[in-house]
Amino acid sequence: ALITLRQLLDHAAENGYGVPAFNINNMEQGLAILRAAAATDAPVILQASRGARSYAGDVMLRHMVQALAETHPDIPIVLHQDHGNNDATCLSAIRHGFTSVMMDGSLEEDMKTPASYDYNVETTRRVSAAAHAVGASVEGELGVLGSLETGEAGEEDGSGAEGKLSRDQLLTDPDQAVDFVARTKCDALAIACGTSHGAYKFSRKPDGEILSMATIARIHEKLPGTHLVMHGSSSVPQALQDLINAHGGEMPQTYGVPVEEIEKGIRMGVRKVNIDTDCRMAMTGQFRKVAAEKPAEFDPRKFLVPAMKELEDLCRDRFERFGTAGQA
């Protein structure tokens, strides 16, 4: 059944686990994620970006997630708007059956210009009041996602600040976080700690200089009752880079967020862990493998079945390692 983010993360906090939030654009991703959730008895967050909503369409997304819920009646599912950029995006998502929205006021509506603190508070507070009035949950974001190595947001296509960012912007300030949560009444808070969207997060295996888990610890100390969210949490597994590159891919060597760092985060109040890139790489790795090994193949299902299996395996691993398994 569909539940709200608040309901799920309250349960996660009480029981000390984290929940992966997987991005979804199409049926095959939904099938694979829910098969993994069912196999491990895990609740799940399915999130749709603005791009996903325009790719699949709101009506399709709503019915798709309803169908997944009907297929897996024992699995609690949150349908969440990822990176909402204004009131209209968030409120239309709720109208279309989303039980939770992210109002990302860390950036202005264009999702490129870092926003002022006052803009962020005011926008998030307004969306929060409207969403709560109809029983939906809200995630806010304080701090700007981007690399501490380069000062850049990383992602060229999707949401991401333009121009150089300062260390100050890239690490959420704990005192400001206390004020932000009190004033906006958001249900969950996305923080910035050096992660960025996409595959190219770090040029080396991250240490405390470029992935600041200490920032999360400091925020959790001041806000022990607030559900924290880590964006840009793909691990960009070496095995998936190798799978892609062994079959004609040309992804330059890169490093993501090690799963053990996320496990550390979960012990420090991280409850929602956003993962999209790893899921993309899992499917694409198998598409490339089938295309390379079976050049005569033209039935899409012959590509999609192994791609779903690779994604299911990835999701199962995250459910197990984040402690979500067995919590449905």
**Backbone phi, psi, residue 274, to 5°:** -85, 125
Note whether 141 binds ligand 13P by CB under 6 A.
no
* 277-293 and 238-245 helices, crossing angle to 10°: 30
Active site residue 157: no
CB of 260 to ligand G3H, least distance (A): 22
CB-nearer residue toward Zn ion: 231 or 288: 231
Site for ligand 13P in 48-107 (CB under 6 A): 82-83
Stretch that binds ligand G3H, among 48-56, 67-75, 240-248, 312-320 (CB under 6 A): 48-56
CB of 222 to ligand G3H, least distance (A): 26
Note whether 198 binds ligand 13P by CB under 6 A.
yes
CB of 73 to ligand 13P, least distance (A): 27
Site for ligand 13P in 215-244 (CB under 6 A): 231-234
Note whether 274 binds ligand 13P by CB under 6 A.
yes
* 27-40 and 277-293 helices, crossing angle to 10°: 110
**Backbone phi, psi, residue 160, to 5°:** 170, 140
Site for ligand 13P in 8-37 (CB under 6 A): 23
Note whether 80 binds ligand G3H by CB under 6 A.
no
* 277 assigned ligand-binding residue: yes
Site for ligand G3H in 238-297 (CB under 6 A): 276
Note whether 158 binds ligand G3H by CB under 6 A.
yes
Query: What x-and-dash track marks residues 195-234 binding Zn ion by CB under 5 A?
Result: ------------------------------------x---
Task: Collect all residues with Cβ–Cβ distance below 8 Å to 271 and sequence separation of at least 6.
Answer: 9, 12, 13, 17, 18, 19, 188, 227, 228, 229
* 83 assigned ligand-binding residue: yes
**Catalytically annotated residue among 10, 41, 58, 82:** 82
Q: How far apart, in whole angstroms, are the C-alpha atoms of residue 143 and residue 195?
A: 11
Q: How far is CA 242 from the centre of its chain?
A: 23
CB of 258 to ligand 13P, least distance (A): 12
> What is the contact surface with Zn ion in residues (CB under 5 A)?
231, 274
Residues annotated as catalytic (active site), given as ranges = 82
Annotated binding site for Zn(2+): 83, 104, 141, 197, 231
